[in-house]
Amino acid sequence: MDFTDTMRQRRAINFFDPDKPVSDEELKGIIETASLAPSGLNLQPWQVIVVRSQEAKEKLMAAASRQTKIIEAPVTLIILADMNGWKAGHPMVEKTWANLLDLGYMKPDQRGWFEKGAQKLYGTQEKSLAFAVKNAAFFSMALMLAAKDAGLDSHPMDGFDPEAVRKAFDIPENFFIPLLIAIGHFNDRSMLMPPKWRKSYGEVVHATF
Ligand SMILES: Cc1cc2nc3c(=O)[nH]c(=O)nc-3n(C[C@H](O)[C@H](O)[C@H](O)COP(=O)(O)O)c2cc1C
């Protein structure tokens, strides 16, 4: 599908067809495509919890304003944004560093610079949160577009109680939970509401210098 069509055709789908499954292969494909999203220092501070079983869906729905699409959609992802994902010693930071060395982006004696840079960019509570959420948001958008491109529909949700979700799924404190994303197929026995307005070019551009 042409990129602009993918953008236009992605909609937040309220009604999923519970009889149309999403295979593990399809889910793996869209997660792998979304993983191509960019991230600060390439640290990719996102993970997901895959909610598929009836029991897990019910637990999640109870923490998410009883949004029934969580039951109807074959799968819902709990998006996790890792606020520690920039700190030296974190496995993904070390993997990123090793990759930068392997590819010749960095030399071993630049390690101090790398660590100090991350500390300066992300080393307060507010900055760690912003780091985690902005990168997880890029991943989430990529995931919804990858789903559309693969013939699947999705629905992002922030209407949930993060502490209830944390408790129900035993999510460690280093993860902020920005979003749930339901994935499946639109239930064509229901009505798809018309697309809502979007800002015009002039409303998006705040200033030009
Ligand atoms: C961060 C975010 C949180 C959202 N949370 C909810 C939600 O909890 N429940 C819901 O019904 N829709 C939710 N939505 C869907 C939006 O209402 C929807 O994307 C928007 O109205 C535009 O419609 P469209 O996605 O069909 O173009 C959310 C969307 C985003 C991006």
Q: Average pLDDT in the 43-51 region?
A: 98
pTM of the predicted model, to two decimals?
0.97
Q: What is the pLDDT of residue 1?
A: 83
Instruction: Count Cα neighbours of 44 within 13 Å in the Cβ-side half-sphere.
Output: 17
CA dist 36 to 101, 139, 143, Å?
20, 8, 10
Q: What is the pLDDT of residue 20?
A: 98
| DSSP label at residue 40 | G
Alpha carbon distance 136, 37 (integer Å): 9
Model confidence at 208: pLDDT above 90: yes
- What is the CATH classification number for the domain harbouring 18? 3.40.109.10
Tell me how many domains the chain contains: 1
Would you tell me the crossing angle of helices 111-122 and 125-149 to the nearest 10 degrees? 90
Instruction: At 124, list the tokens.
Output: 């307060």
Q: Average pLDDT in the 28-44 region?
A: 98
Q: What is the pLDDT of residue 138?
A: 98
* Residue 206 placed within a domain: no
* Residue 196 placed within a domain: no
* Residue 91 placed within a domain: yes
Q: Report the nearest-CA residue for atom 10 of ligand 1.
A: 157
Burial category of 67 from C-beta neighbours within 10 Å (exposed 0-12, middle 13-18, buried 19 and up): buried
CA dist 187 to 47, 73, 160, Å?
28, 10, 23
* Residue 38 placed within a domain: yes
Model confidence at 118: pLDDT above 90: yes
The rounded Å distance from CA 10 to ligand 1 centre is: 11
Number of neighbours of residue 98 by Cβ within 10 angstroms: 11
Q: What is the pLDDT of residue 91?
A: 98
* Residue 60 placed within a domain: yes
CA torsion through residues 158, 31, 139, 102, sign: positive
Closest atom of ligand 1 to 155 CA is: 15
* Residue 179 placed within a domain: yes
* Residue 113 placed within a domain: yes
Containing domain of residue 181, as a range? 3-187
Pocket test for ligand 1, best of 65, 155, 176, 190 (most atoms within 8 A of CB): 155
pLDDT tens readout for residues 157-175: 999 999 999 999 999 999 9
* Residue 204 placed within a domain: no
